[in-house]
């Protein structure tokens, strides 16, 4: 096991993580960027559609091209060390991030951490939801847009948000039939421009409808949909049997926040942000000092806001390391804040904004409670026990492992290279 | 070859936006049957292209499991590769001569490697 020390560790090389890395590196911060995939860009590598974005940033550009451009900038940046094909396994109280590289397990010790791990797809409960052929919308995109394999012949799309609509269009582009898009809500969730595109191509979008079951012996051979009443119950007699071999779930995402739980950051369940999210301030810092967040892990939005939020996190980390002058900091911070505000100015952002407001109110009360317990010495022992679970005995041990591992570092990596 | 033909149907040849560059073809086996796929693509992509969707069975009731998330999150697509169980078919790259088998439940205990 070798130990890598760095000023800033960023987990996740999607749009948020990459923009955080580029921003921090531009201020001279030695940055280590960790990503489980081989290719840089996170989910952008399968987005063939053009982004609306903000007028200055990437609007009208296809996601795949944004990913290529960002990846090029990372690879040419001497302040960024890239650890790709590397999985973050866990975060320890002494600040160790344990990672699994293709050569083995390493420790990464950073002065600051940015978690930009993104999100995972939600699951829906229905009979047959575990059959092969029931795929997440992201999986369908990966299979056809990255690997060039059609997911099946005929697809039932569940969910009419932008992902459901865009992936339906991409399926049609790949020569796959889309039998229907069903939407439990009374109205279509995504933009009208995406909905019209697939409707013109003959795909019915059925609101107030959902899947009743998927069936098949070993894999999906068909699916039954039905209409919902005002209480979200299926209406008997409205069932329709669709001959499909793929059921695609596009019912939203939920933050991949396990590492933040491990960090001991305060978390809260905020449905508007997609589930459990960390509490974080305007600089993207969580309640765990030195740990920042950006992108979907901080609340489900889209790639353009993830890029801006990533820059904000990178700037804040650089600032807290003393790398940014007051003048530059306030200029850049205002610039990025303005960009985020612009991106969130549409009617579709109302939900996100109310989620962020809710989260900030919770953060405020957590901070106030911390201030009170600090002012009252009687509360101190309890607070310390809760927020600093590392007892003193753990630290020297971690330090000992540290030096031992460092001592072995040279020979180990040579061995690995030789083998 | 039989399997070569079936994989042509599921492979995207013409796409209005994307180009899929020519890649090196390799031979591997699935449950002892010889198949062809592209070197470096995920095992799951090669199997899917060959029409194979059931990759794994659940631990308890042995229900069929397949590809689901495609990015190594969900463990639905675990297979046995060259005798080693719990390999994620959606992220493991295909290599010439790979022996891939459906994983039943937790799969076999890995044999000691020399």
Could you tell me the domains of chain B?
Answer: 2-8+24-104 (3.10.20.440)
**pLDDT score recorded for residue A186:** 96
What is the total count of domains within chain A? 2
Size of interface A-B (CB pairs under 8 A): 84
- Among A251, A270, A287, identify where a domain stops: A251
Residue A291 sits in the same domain as residue A319? yes
Residue A94 sits in the same domain as residue A172? no
The verdict on residue A409 lying in a domain is no
The verdict on residue A325 lying in a domain is yes
The verdict on residue A235 lying in a domain is yes
With an 8 Å Cβ cutoff, are A131 and B41 in contact?
no
- Among A251, A275, A304, identify where a domain stops: A251
Q: Does B45 touch chain A (CB under 8 A)?
A: yes
**pLDDT score recorded for residue A245:** 97
Angstroms from A41 CA to nearest CA on chain B: 13
With an 8 Å Cβ cutoff, are A139 and B15 in contact?
no
Angstroms from A238 CA to nearest CA on chain B: 29
Chain A residue with the nearest C-alpha to that of B68: A135
- Among A251, A274, A289, identify where a domain stops: A251
Residue A88 sits in the same domain as residue A165? no
The verdict on residue A407 lying in a domain is no
Q: Does A419 touch chain B (CB under 8 A)?
A: no
With an 8 Å Cβ cutoff, are B72 and A36 in contact?
yes
Residue B110 pLDDT exceeds 70:
no
Residue A127 sits in the same domain as residue A115? no
**pLDDT score recorded for residue A53:** 57
Residue A224 sits in the same domain as residue A288? no
Give residue-wise pLDDT tens across range A62-75.
888 888 899 999 99
With an 8 Å Cβ cutoff, are B45 and A143 in contact?
yes
CATH at A321: 3.50.50.60
Angstroms from A352 CA to nearest CA on chain B: 25
Residue A272 sits in the same domain as residue A329? yes
Residue A226 sits in the same domain as residue A328? no
Q: Does A36 touch chain B (CB under 8 A)?
A: yes
Residue A258 sits in the same domain as residue A377? yes
Residue numbers of the domain that contains A216: 123-251
The verdict on residue A406 lying in a domain is no
Give residue-wise pLDDT tens across range B36-89.
999 999 999 999 999 999 999 999 999 999 999 988 888 899 999 999 999 999
With an 8 Å Cβ cutoff, are B73 and A130 in contact?
no
For the question of whether the overall pTM of this predicted structure is more than 0.90, the answer is no
Residue A133 sits in the same domain as residue A89? no
The verdict on residue A82 lying in a domain is yes
With an 8 Å Cβ cutoff, are A145 and B70 in contact?
no
Residue to mutate among A88, A148, A219, with most B CBs inside 10 A, is A148
The verdict on residue A403 lying in a domain is no
CB contacts of A150 in chain B (<8 Å) are 9-12
Residue A97 sits in the same domain as residue A151? no
Residue A53 sits in the same domain as residue A69? yes
Q: HEC states along chain A?
A: CCEEEEEEEEECCCHHHHHHHHHHHHCCCCEEEECCCCCCCHHHHHCCCECCCECCEECCCEHHHHHHHHHHHHHCCCCEEEECCCEEEEECCCCEEEEEECCEEEEEEEEEEEECCCEEECCCCCCCCCCCCEEEHHHHHHHHHHCCECCCCEEEEECCCHHHHHHHHHHHHCCCEEEEEEECCCCCCCCHHHHHHHHHCCCCEEECEEEEEEECCCCCCEEEEEEECCCCCECCCCCEEECCCEEEECCCEEECCHHHHHHCCCEEEEHHHCEEEECECCCCEECCCCEEECHHHHCCCCHHHHHHHHHHHHHHHHHHCCCCCHHHHHHHHHHHHHHHHHHCCCHHHHHHHHHHHHHHHHHHHHHHHHHHHHHCHHHHHHHHHHHCCCCCCHHHHHHHHHHHHHHHHHHHHHHHHHC
The verdict on residue A405 lying in a domain is no
With an 8 Å Cβ cutoff, are B71 and A138 in contact?
yes
Residue A273 sits in the same domain as residue A361? yes
Residue-by-residue pLDDT tens, chain A, 419 positions: 889 999 999 999 999 999 999 999 999 999 999 999 888 888 887 777 776 654 455 567 788 888 889 999 999 999 999 999 999 999 998 889 999 999 999 999 999 999 999 999 899 999 999 999 999 999 999 999 989 999 999 999 999 999 999 999 999 999 999 999 999 999 999 999 999 999 999 999 999 999 999 999 999 999 999 999 999 999 999 999 999 999 999 999 999 999 999 999 999 999 999 999 999 999 999 999 999 999 999 999 989 999 999 999 999 999 999 999 999 999 999 999 999 999 999 887 999 999 999 999 999 999 999 888 877 765 555 444 444 444 443 333 333 333 333 333 333 333 333 33
ipTM of the complex: 0.89
pLDDT (average), residues B9-36: 89
């Amino acid at each position: 096991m070798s130990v890598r020390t760095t000023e800033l560790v960023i987990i996740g090389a999607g749009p948020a993580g990459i923009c955080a890395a580029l921003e921090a590196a531009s201020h001279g911060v030695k940055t280590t960027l960790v990503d489980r995939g081989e290719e840089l860009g996170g989910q952008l590598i399968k987005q063939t559609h053009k982004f609306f974005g903000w007028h200055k940033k990437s609007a009208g550009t296809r996601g795949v091209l944004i990913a290529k451009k960002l990846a090029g900038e990372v690879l040419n940046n001497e302040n960024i060390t890239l650890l790709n094909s590397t999985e973050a396994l866990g975060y320890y109280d002494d600040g160790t991030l344990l990672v699994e590289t293709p050569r083995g397990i390493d420790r990464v010790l950073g002065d600051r951490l940015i978690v930009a791990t993104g999100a995972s797809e939600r699951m829906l409960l229905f009979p047959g939801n575990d059959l092969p052929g029931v795929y997440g919308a992201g999986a369908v995109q990966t299979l056809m847009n990255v690997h060039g394999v059609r997911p099946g012949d005929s697809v039932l799309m569940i969910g009419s948000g932008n992902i459901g609509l865009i992936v339906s269009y991409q399926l049609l582009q790949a020569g796959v039939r889309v039998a229907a898009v069903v939407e439990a809500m009374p109205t279509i969730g995504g933009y009208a421009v995406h909905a019209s595109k697939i409707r013109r191509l003959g795909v019915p979008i059925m609101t107030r409808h959902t899947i009743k079951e998927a069936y098949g012996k070993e894999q999906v051979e068909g699916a039954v949909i039905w209409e919902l009443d005002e209480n979200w119950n299926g209406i008997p007699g409205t069932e329709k049997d669709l001959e499909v071999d793929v059921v695609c779930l596009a019912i939203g995402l939920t933050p991949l926040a396990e590492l933040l739980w491990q960090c001991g950051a305060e978390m809260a369940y905020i449905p508007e942000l997609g589930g459990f999210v960390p509490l974080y301030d305007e600089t993207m810092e969580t309640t765990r000092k030195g740990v920042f967040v950006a992108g979907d892990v901080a609340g489900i939005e889209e790639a353009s806001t993830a890029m801006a939020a990533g820059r904000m996190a990178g700037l804040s980390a650089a600032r807290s390391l003393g790398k940014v002058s007051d003048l530059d900091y306030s200029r850049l911070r205002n610039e990025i804040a303005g960009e985020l505000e612009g991106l969130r100015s549409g009617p579709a952002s109302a939900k996100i904004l109310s989620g962020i407001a809710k989260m900030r109110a919770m953060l405020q009360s957590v901070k106030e409670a911390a201030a009170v317990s600090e002012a009252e010495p009687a509360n101190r022992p309890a607070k310390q026990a809760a927020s600093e679970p590392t007892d003193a005995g753990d630290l020297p041990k971690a330090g000992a492992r540290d030096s031992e591992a460092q001592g072995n570092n040279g020979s180990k990596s040579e061995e690995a290279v030789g083998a | 070859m039989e399997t070569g033909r079936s994989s042509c149907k599921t492979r995207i040849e013409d796409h209005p936006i994307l180009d899929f560059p020519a890649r090196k073809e390799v031979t591997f086996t699935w449950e002892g049957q010889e198949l062809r796929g592209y070197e470096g693509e995920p095992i799951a992509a090669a199997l899917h292209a060959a029409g194979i969707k059931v990759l794994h069975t659940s631990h308890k009731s042995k229900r069929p499991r397949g590809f689901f998330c495609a990015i190594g999150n969900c463990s639905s697509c675990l297979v046995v590769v060259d005798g080693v169980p719990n390999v994620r078919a959606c992220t493991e790259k295909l290599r010439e001569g790979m022996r891939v088998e459906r994983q039943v439940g937790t799969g076999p205990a890995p044999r000691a490697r020399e």
